[in-house]
Amino acid sequence: MKKRRVEVQLFGYEMLEKQVNKSGNSGRVYVPVDWVGKRVKVILLEK
């Protein structure tokens, strides 16, 4: 399946831009501890 670039419009309360780090067989992004238990969205900005 070919991935295409899409435009996304989100409304939220805070935004962070971070780099994903390797963690075993997957990736990891650390967020503030007060975000634990909250709903978040992760958007891939680069291909």
pLDDT in the model for residue 11: 94
pTM beyond 0.85: the answer is: no
Alpha-carbon distance values, 17 to 21, 25, 42, 43, 44 (Å): 13, 22, 10, 10, 11
pLDDT in the model for residue 42: 93
H or E, element range at 22: strand 21-23
**Band of the pLDDT at 1, cuts 50, 70, 90?**
confident
Return the structure tokens found at 15.
């935004």
Phi and psi dihedrals of 22, rounded to 5? -70, 140
What are the pLDDT digits (tens) for 19-43? 999 999 999 999 999 999 999 999 9
Give the SS3 label for residue 34: helix
